Structure 1
Amino acid sequence: MKKFWTLCAALLSVATAASAQTTMSCCTKPAAGQAATETFAMLASNTDFSGGHDAPLPYTYHGEGAMVKFKTADGQTGQGFEIKSATPSKKYLFVIHEWWGLNDYIKKEAATFARELPGVNVIALDLYDGKVATTPDEAGKYMQAVKTDRAQNIIRGAMQYAGQDAQFASVGWCFGGGWSLQTAWLAGPKAVGSVVYYGMPEKDVAKLKTLNTDVLGIFASEDKWINPEVVAQFQKDMAAAKKKVTIKSYTADHAFANPSNPKYNEKFAADAHAATVAYLRKSFKLKA
């Protein structure tokens, strides 16, 4: 597969008597009223986490597609990079960026999905409102600054832009992986699919019960953040919610599908991408 991530896992502050040190743990449950995506965003302050993300190499996308804007319920404007289907379609795939933001790598990912899913409109959403990071420090700040309400308004605004008869599937990596699952929840009965690449799973079983779709989860067994314990708990939570989740786990590290990452595994990335495309084709009921 390709591009990489967007949030991972989480923590809670554990203060010692003498010094207030913060311990990060993927398995910590969100505090009362705290969204799983917000809990995950706190990882940006973990130097081990941020240090494991090398800045992407310079890249400029030259291809089809254009930026579009749409109204959001909070009185602001949202935006995304859209590649329309060659034929009129009510099927929409939302592609959600990792912690770098909506950069040209993500536009390239959107274009790849558009080619492989004929008859589907593809929109790469911008949850950073125009900000794009080029260093881990910037990326961490932008990820932590994302407010749940604002991100939800952007996603809902994109859904309104697509129209009331639209069907939605989503795919995202790390930060975007967590938001891909949230997108399926926000889409309600209009959701037909969700792909989560090593992103923070939703831990609220009550919310999972309202999902209208199954989920494809792609994880790495050597991931220190969204680790096997987190994945196992997600499977248990989905079972408790009586929802189907298909897990593909690779003997790899976090962001193994990101070609600009030192931990990139071309073989596993290609296999995961093929599984993703097959899943999305089935979700959208595309003809062979």
Structure 2
Amino acid sequence: MTHLKHTVLAAGLGLSLAGGPALGELRTETVEYQVNGETFTGYLAWDDEEEGKRPGVLVVHEWWGHNAFAREQAEKLAAAGYTAFALDMYGSGKVADHPNDAKAFMTEATKDLDQVKARFLKAKEILENHDSVDPERIAAQGYCFGGAVVLNMARLGVDLDGVVSYHGALASPIQAEPGKVKAQIQVYTGGADQMVPSEQVAGLVKEMQDAGVDLSLTVFPGVRHSFTNPAADRIAEQFGMPVGYDEAAAQRAWDGTLRFYQRLFAD
């Protein structure tokens, strides 16, 4: 069963459609849902003033879990004219403040590929069934851990129009096969990302080229892991992790993503 908790975001968020008027309000719903007997908590965001059905975008969180950053990305997508669902890959309440907890949550969630796929597909079903969404136009974007998830869903042939990975791991035991990947792919990674070395970048290019996949890849020189998240600098200082926020790279990646979706979903 799926339970919805409804909220209206007030006017004055300062968000606007690219090339369009400022939005009066966004609507959000906290969604509790079940996958194989376990409870998960996701977050829907959309513009209720937008008429007709529009594309839906799944947002997959960093290894910290379904936190405020993931929800903020869903709200930004809603402001751009999409319905977004920030899904939960770990389970309700599993949000980490320490890297050891994040690693434990991620390890448990990814121990079984079928489990990963089931959790992703349930979230996709929820998004597709929302009144505002055209179920034939669905994309997914992920950050860090989430970037790896969306790439692997594309590799597995999940029916997605496109996926976007931000500072996600690019190597995978799953390899793209010719004719299997349905999604067009965009990847944004940092040239100084110690967690995603150049060997992974080169490996992804070869893998996708050999499989005939439509891949666009941007490498930001000197940019570290987790560059889209403003909290990365605090995390680097607190835990000594090789991460860092880069406002310019984050904005370029976001702008590129919106252009990608505009082209992907052009009528």
Matched, 1:123 2:93: no
Work out which of the residue numbers 62, 66, 75 in structure 2 matches 1:102.
66
TM-score after normalising by structure 2: 0.75
Match of 1:13 in 2: none
Question: Which structure shows the higher strand fraction?
Answer: 2
Cα distance in 2, alignment partners of residues 181 and 238 from structure 1 = 11
Match of 1:170 in 2: 140
Q: Which runs of 5+ in 2 are unaligned?
A: 1-25, 234-243
Q: After TM superposition, give the deviation of residue 75 of structure 1 in Å.
A: 4.7
Q: Which amino acid aligns with 1:259?
A: P
Two-structure CA RMSD over aligned residues (Å): 2.2
Work out which of the residue numbers 242, 250, 257 in structure 2 matches 1:269.
250
Matched, 1:230 2:200: yes
Work out which of the residue numbers 155, 160, 165 in structure 2 matches 1:191.
160
Q: Which amino acid aligns with 2:74?
A: A
Q: After TM superposition, give the deviation of residue 142 of structure 1 in Å.
A: 1.0
Cα distance in 1, alignment partners of residues 33 and 184 from structure 2 = 28
Matched, 1:66 2:29: yes
1:82-115 CA distance string (max 9 Å, x none): 1135334262100000011111121111101110
Cα distance in 2, alignment partners of residues 272 and 265 from structure 1 = 11
Q: After TM superposition, give the deviation of residue 175 of structure 1 in Å.
A: 0.2
Q: Which amino acid aligns with 2:196?
A: I
Q: After TM superposition, give the deviation of residue 168 of structure 1 in Å.
A: 1.6
- Choose between structure 1 and 2 for higher RCO, CA contacts under 8 A separated by at least 6 residues: 1
Work out which of the residue numbers 131, 135, 151 in structure 1 matches 2:98.
135
Which runs of structure 2 are paired with 1:46-61 in the superposition (5 Å)?
A: none
Q: Which amino acid aligns with 1:224?
A: Q
Q: What percentage of residue pairs aligned between the two structures are identical? A: 25
Cα distance in 1, alignment partners of residues 32 and 118 from structure 2 = 13
Match of 2:46 in 1: 84
Cα pair 1:169 1:184 within 8 Å, conserved: no
Q: Which amino acid aligns with 1:152?
A: K
SS across alignment from 2:232: coil
Cα distance in 2, alignment partners of residues 101 and 217 from structure 1 = 21
Q: After TM superposition, give the deviation of residue 207 of structure 1 in Å.
A: 4.3
1:25-71 CA distance string (max 9 Å, x none): xxxxxxxxxxxxxxxxxxxxxxxxxxxxxxxxxxxxxx741111345
CA pair 100-145 structure 1, distance change in 2 beyond 3 A: same
SS across alignment from 1:205: coil
Matched, 1:239 2:239: no
234-243 vs 250-259, which moves further: 250-259
1:254-288 CA distance string (max 9 Å, x none): 112211112211111111111111112222226xx
CA pair 285-219 structure 1, distance change in 2 beyond 3 A: same
SS across alignment from 1:199: coil
Task: Count residues with an aligned counterpart.
Answer: 220
Cα distance in 2, alignment partners of residues 133 and 208 from structure 1 = 38
Matched, 1:220 2:184: no
Cα distance in 1, alignment partners of residues 258 and 210 from structure 2 = 27
1:100-131 CA distance string (max 9 Å, x none): 11111211111011101x1x210001001111
Q: After TM superposition, give the deviation of residue 160 of structure 1 in Å.
A: 2.5
